[in-house]
Amino acid sequence: MGNVCISSGIVKAVISDMGAQMTSLKKDGREIIWEGDPAVWGEQAPFLFPICGRLRDNKYMLDNKEYHLGLHGFARTMPFEIETQSENEVTFLLKSTEETMKCFPRTFECRITYRLIKNCMEVTYDVKNTDAETMYFSMGAHEGYACPEGIEEYSVVFEHEENLETVVLDGGYLSRENSVIAQNTRELPLKYEYFDDNSLVFKKLRSRRVSLRRKNGMECVSVDFCGFDNLLLWTEPGAGYICIEPWCGLPDYSDGDYDITRKEGIITLAPGGHCVRRHTIIL
């Protein structure tokens, strides 16, 4: 496993070729990314592909055949090739293999580009369907941001005033129920109790930027996520991080029918097509 270091002169980042996962993001010597303690949560900023979240019974149907994929898909556990690299930018490439075809029967090229510009990290996902058939997939970000004092010393601040309605989860799957946790507000003070049942799943936000802010008013990091339909927040109860997760996709419903072509949030990509999404982390 190798690491790539890039710098804008203001911000420095380290990205592993395993999963093309960011393992460090620093400004003025202050680490933004969760340390990845395996006793709590061993990952730090995985890329989710070709699904986000959990499939019902870890399976789906396509072309009248049954396939199996585990939580968040396989990209986060695969080595990426370094395609291009400069002082402030690196592009990683993952291609389909015989092994991926067994659980995801389409050929593809997936590129992730990390680009530092002053105090911003741009993360661009570019998925190309190199198959002769239509491809059905999801993709999403899963950066964990360090909250060393615990998340209850922080708030998530939204770009616009929101009615914060989350989908109620049922064993990691979506249920058909929603729960309103706050109304007519731009600020959500974080509480560990929100994550007793896994994640907060926001499907109808007006905002396309959120910020993580300490109680003393210090803004730690902001995330722009134009182009992503859903935003999730997640942590392990008691842990020292919060994940801010822009997703193009969703977990399965607990009563879903396994047909990936009808899955909510699924991306449909014609042969030869590209799907590009970008989110930006502002320090």
List 187's β-bridge partners, or say none. 157
The type of residue at 175 is S
Count other Cβ atoms within 10 Å, centred on residue 46.
Answer: 23
- pLDDT value of residue 216: 87
pTM of the full predicted structure? Answer: 0.95
Looking at residue 193, its amino acid is E
Range 144-167 average pLDDT: 97
Per-residue pLDDT reduced to its tens digit, 204-247: 899 999 999 999 888 899 999 999 999 999 999 999 999 999 99
* Cβ-contact 144, 45 below 8 angstroms: yes
**Percentage of the residues of the chain whose pLDDT score is greater than 70:** 100
Q: Mean pLDDT, to the nearest integer, of 8-18?
A: 97
pLDDT in tens, 72-115: 999 999 999 999 999 999 999 999 999 999 999 999 999 999 99
Please determine, for residue 34, whether its predicted confidence score (pLDDT) is greater than 80: yes
Tens-place pLDDT, residues 107-152: 999 999 999 999 999 999 999 999 999 999 999 999 999 999 999 9
| Residue 1 reports pLDDT greater than 70 | no
Average pLDDT over residues 190-200: 94
**Rounded to an integer, what distance in angstroms lies between the CA atom of residue 167 and that of residue 201?**
5
Q: Across residues 176-190, what is the average pLDDT?
A: 96
Dihedral over alpha carbons 241, 244, 249, 250 (to 10 degrees): 50
> How many whole angstroms separate alpha carbon 224 and alpha carbon 247?
12
pLDDT of 197 reads 86
Rounded to whole angstroms, the Cα distance separating 236 from 229 reads 24
Q: What is the mean pLDDT of residues 15-42?
A: 96
Q: How many CB atoms lie within 10 A of CB 257?
A: 11
